[in-house]
Each structure stands twice: as structure tokens, then as C-alpha cells.
Structure 1
Amino acid sequence: MIRLGGPVESSQTEDPQAWIEELKMLGYRAAFCPELSLERPEQLKLFRQAAENADIVIAEVGAWSNPLSRDEVERAAAIRLCQERLSLAQEVGARCCVNIAGSLGSTWDGPHPDHFTDETFALIVDSVREIIDAVKPSDTFYTLEMMPWMLPDSADTYIRLIKAIDRSAFGVHIDPVNVVTGPRLLYGTANLLKDIIGKLGAWIQSCHAKDITIQQQLTVHLDETRPGLGHLDYRAYLSLLHDLNRDVPLMLEHLPNQEEYRKAANYIRSKAGELGISL
């Protein structure tokens, strides 16, 4: 019930069959949305049909932008982009459109001391509603990736947002590495995963597959790394996703080349094999 996927070199191709062939060659059953445009509806139909015919799930459409920007021009542009990308997810048949909540800081995805205030929570709620209400998707979801220094930063804060946003088209995207913020969590990722997936499982639309390690220095310094080189408990991750008993995309990301993606995929497949789970 888990579909492994990752980036492919053919993501910018105009040929849907070339895209499908590369995904199959890599053994992926899920894919990031290729570079497509709402202005070319026939192309969208071709890629959607090719994916459906090949039993490939388009996991997510990225909408990476800053709906919380203090610059009103930037914020308005980000909201429009998210609406467009959510519309694209609807048309291409993707499981979700994903973004972060946004940032009040100097970079679109950076930290800020006001990120955990009630005022920021309310701004996130209003932004997500504005995005969803403009599109009214029926077959996809708008989701927020959990982050270490902005909301949602835990299962509980995600549930708070789900209740406050109160839109059926608001779903969950999980990347557990992003919320490992200290040694207690790093060395207890099985419990962290149980908390996240146990509480959010009914809403999960897509997941990311990374890993995380700690440096031998003061103060605490955590680094993202390739799956298998860190402390994320992939046996727990795969078991818990499998127990959801429905198709869930698990997407590799942030690696420098296809050889690293091959190693990451092989590691995850080996752990799945130990558990008798098919990817």
C-alpha cells in the first residue's frame, strides 16, 4: 500500500511516455508532477492518462512560495501561485498540492520569532482558506509540509489547523525528518512516527523520505542525509504507513544525483523487504 517515488530527469519532457518509461525503469510507482501548465490542458490530459494507464500515482504538485510574507505584493503573488498549483493538481489528478505555511522572516522558508503566535496561526488559517475556497477542489487536497520553525511543527499543531481551517480539501503532508529538532526526538523516531501517523493517518496524502543525523559538536547540530545514513527508523515508518491500508506515496527528495537516489531507493526497498511490504 506504499508507493515509492522520486525525481526523474524527464520531468521537463513534453513526452508523457518518456516520463513513464523513466519512472518504470527506476521502479517507481509514484511521481512528482512534471513541469506542466494550466495553459496547456491537452498536455495535462495526456500526462494524466499516461500515469493512470501505467498505474503511476502523481503524488504532489509543489507550490513553494510565501503566503505569509509581510510584503503584500509577494504575499498576493504567493496566494495566486498556490491557487494555480492547486488547480493544476486537480486537473492532472495529483494526490495533493503542497507548500509550507510561509515565513514572516527575510527568507520565504526561514525562521522567525513570531511564527508560533496566535496571530500567525490565524494568518495561516486565513491563507489556506483563501487558497482552497478559490479553487474548490473535489479530487485533490491542499497540504502544508511540517517544518521545524513554523506551523505545523507537530501532529497536534496540524490537528489544530485542520479543525480551524475547517475545509474538507485541506489534507496532510508528512516529512518526519523536518520535525526532528533535538536528540530526544532523533533517538526516538519510532515513537515520533507513531505519534504523527497515528494522529494524522486519516488525512495523509503524500510523504517525503529523507534521513537525519547529528554532529559531534556543541551546540546541537542536525543534518539531513540520505535514507539509511541517519537515525530515522524506516522499519517503523514503513510499517505505520502500510498499516493505513491505502495507497500512500513516499517520495525521495533533496539528493544530488540519480546514483544517490538509487542508493536511497535500494535502502528503503531492503527495509520494506524485511517487513514483507511491497513498494
Structure 2
Amino acid sequence: MRLGGTVCCDHPAEWEDKLVQSGFRAITAPFNCETPREETERLLRIVEKHDAAIAEVGVWRNPFDPVTGPASLDYAVHQLQLADEFSIPCCVNIAGTESPFGWDAADPGNFSEAMYRRLVSSIREIIDRANPKKAFYCLEPMPWMIPDSPEVYLQLMQDVDRKQFAVHMDFVNMINCPRRFLDAESFIEECFSKLGPYIKSTHLKDSRMDPMQLTTVLNECSPGEGSLDFVRVLKIIDRYLPADAPVLLEHMTTFEEYRRAYDYVAGKAAEAGVCI
């Protein structure tokens, strides 16, 4: 697998040095559809020079916000076109919400039939308008949004019925109850066994639960700071995905945090006999 993450750097002139120091073989796109063309091409040359791969282009905007929704949907179209132009396999967003509390907030309406129909329609519109040939539009699973299980993801793919709609894997986001947490590795195996052929990018992090706190509180955390058995997890990923599949660490805020997480996972990969 190509293990990597986001290259954190406050100074653009130092970005290439940070990429080299990170050891990452896969990264999130360091540009978007609004980046000046010459800057995008400069970054692409650096990535190619160091044999890294850009695994995904992020959208991270809410197409169902009553004010900004239309602009967010347009942005998703442009980001998918960008990914397609540069053969970046995954353009990823979350489903979105009508909640007034945030672009990624939990809300009862997130699981309504009306929202499901809106979601299917929005995904079709984004793909049809962008008309990609190489890139795929994907949704990151969320604990309180569709898709929140491998079965729901498969059903959504069937209902969207677009060849360029595929899977972004974030199994920790679907570990959203004690039953899944307490048998996490079996659930992760289920995720990859059902969705493996459609996965274009994978996020890697850890999960922890306080076994004595009521009611249930689950938190994501950096690899090694939770309860997942990363030797087993990495063997599962290696079994179901191609050898060059991108696997991205996420949600660290500094270069040093990413470096520690990378070193931890690399060590577990060596234990597991998994090549990174």
C-alpha cells in the first residue's frame, strides 16, 4: 500500500522538503480548482519527482445548506473535473445535511427518505455535469450520515447508478456503536470484503471508547492511541486492496503528529509483513 497523509507546512517554499521528510507515498491534493494553474503544475511536478501519488481531491462542502448549497454543489463539480484532468482517482465529500448546526452535523433529517432522494439526485448531478472518465466521486462514510454501513453504501451505489460513483473507505467513522467497537476488526473485515472492489482511497486512524462511561462516547484518535489492532487491520487492507492502494493518515494538525503516526503504522506494517 501507499501510506501517507496530508503534508502540513506553513511555508509553501518548504513544502517539497516536508514531503520528502514525511516519507509519504500518497497525499491529499495540495491544491484545488481555485489554485492558479502554474502553482498546481509546480506541485504536480514535485509530487511526480518524489514518486508520491495524489490519492484524493477533497470537496468538504455541504450541498444542502440553504444558503451556500448551490455554490457547494458547483464546487464539487469543479473539483471532480480537476481530479479527472490530472487522473486523481478519488474526489471525496460527505453527503451533507440540512442541519442548522454545521456542514457535517448530526440531524434527524440525515436519515429521512426525502434526504436520501436528494442525496441520490445530487450525486447524479455532480457526476453528470463533470462527466469524468478517470476520476470517481465518492462519499466518506460518517457516523450520523449516509452511508453509515457497507450495506447502505452498496445500496446507494445501486440507486445512484453511475459508473463513476465509487467508495471512499473510512471504517472508523462507521464504528459508531459499542457492538462495532468491541468487535472492530471483524467489522473492518466486513467493510473491505463488501466494498473492496470499489474503494478508491482509504483513511486510517484509531478508535477509543471509555468502557466505564455512560452513555457511550466514541472518539477517533491517531494510530496507537486507541484500541484497534493495527497488525490485523493492515493485513485486512493488504488482503483486499491492490498493492499500490493509497491509505491516508488524517486529522493530525502538525507535521510532527503525522510523522509519529506514520512511524507507528510503518512499524505495525513490518510486524504484519505488509509492504508500504
TM over 0.5: yes
Superposition TM-score, scaled by structure 1 size = 0.91
1:247 shift after superposition:
2.0
Question: What are structure 1's unaligned runs of at least 5 residues?
Answer: none
1:60 shift after superposition:
1.0
1:168 shift after superposition:
1.3
1:201 shift after superposition:
0.6
Superposition CA RMSD, Å: 1.8
Secondary structure at 1:194's aligned position in 2?
A: helix
Query: In 2 relative to 1, CA 170–126 (structure 1 residues): closer, same or farther, beyond 3 Å?
Result: same
User: Which of 230, 253, 259 lines up with 1:262 in the alignment?
Assistant: 259
2:21 corresponds to 1:25? yes
Query: In 2 relative to 1, CA 93–50 (structure 1 residues): closer, same or farther, beyond 3 Å?
Result: farther
Deviates further, 243-252 or 34-43: 34-43
User: Which of 114, 118, 125 lines up with 2:113 in the alignment?
Assistant: 118
Question: What are structure 2's unaligned runs of at least 5 residues?
Answer: none
- The residue identity in structure 2 corresponding to 1:197 is F
Aligned to 1:3: 2
1:195 shift after superposition:
0.9
Counterparts of residues 63-82 of structure 1 (less than 5 Å): 63-69=59-65, 71=66, 73-82=67-76
Deviations 1:83-111 (A, max 9, x none): 11112222333221111000121111011
Superposition TM-score, scaled by structure 2 size = 0.92
Secondary structure at 2:158's aligned position in 1?
A: helix
Provide the C-alpha distance between the structure 1 equivalents of 2:254 and 2:224, rounded to a whole number of angstroms: 16
Q: Is the 8 A contact 2:123 2:160 kept in 1?
A: yes
Aligned to 1:248: 245
User: Which of 228, 252, 270 lines up with 1:232 in the alignment?
Assistant: 228
- The residue identity in structure 1 corresponding to 2:259 is R
Count of aligned residue pairs for this structure pair = 273
Provide the C-alpha distance between the structure 1 equivalents of 2:55 and 2:115, rounded to a whole number of angstroms: 28
Q: Is the 8 A contact 2:33 2:78 kept in 1?
A: no
Provide the C-alpha distance between the structure 1 equivalents of 2:136 and 2:16, rounded to a whole number of angstroms: 24
Secondary structure at 1:173's aligned position in 2?
A: strand
Aligned to 1:204: 199
Q: Is the 8 A contact 1:97 1:143 kept in 2?
A: yes
Deviations 1:32-72 (A, max 9, x none): 11134456334333433432343211011110111123x1x
Provide the C-alpha distance between the structure 1 equivalents of 2:39 and 2:257, rounded to a whole number of angstroms: 31
Provide the C-alpha distance between the structure 2 equivalents of 1:44 and 1:133, rounded to a whole number of angstroms: 25
User: Which of 143, 153, 157 lines up with 1:162 in the alignment?
Assistant: 157
Q: Is the 8 A contact 1:58 1:93 kept in 2?
A: no
In the TM superposition, structure 1's runs of 4+ consecutive aligned residues that sit over 6 Å from their partners are none
Identity of aligned residues (%): 38
- The residue identity in structure 2 corresponding to 1:177 is V
User: Which of 262, 271, 274 lines up with 2:271 in the alignment?
Assistant: 274
Provide the C-alpha distance between the structure 1 equivalents of 2:177 and 2:11, rounded to a whole number of angstroms: 38
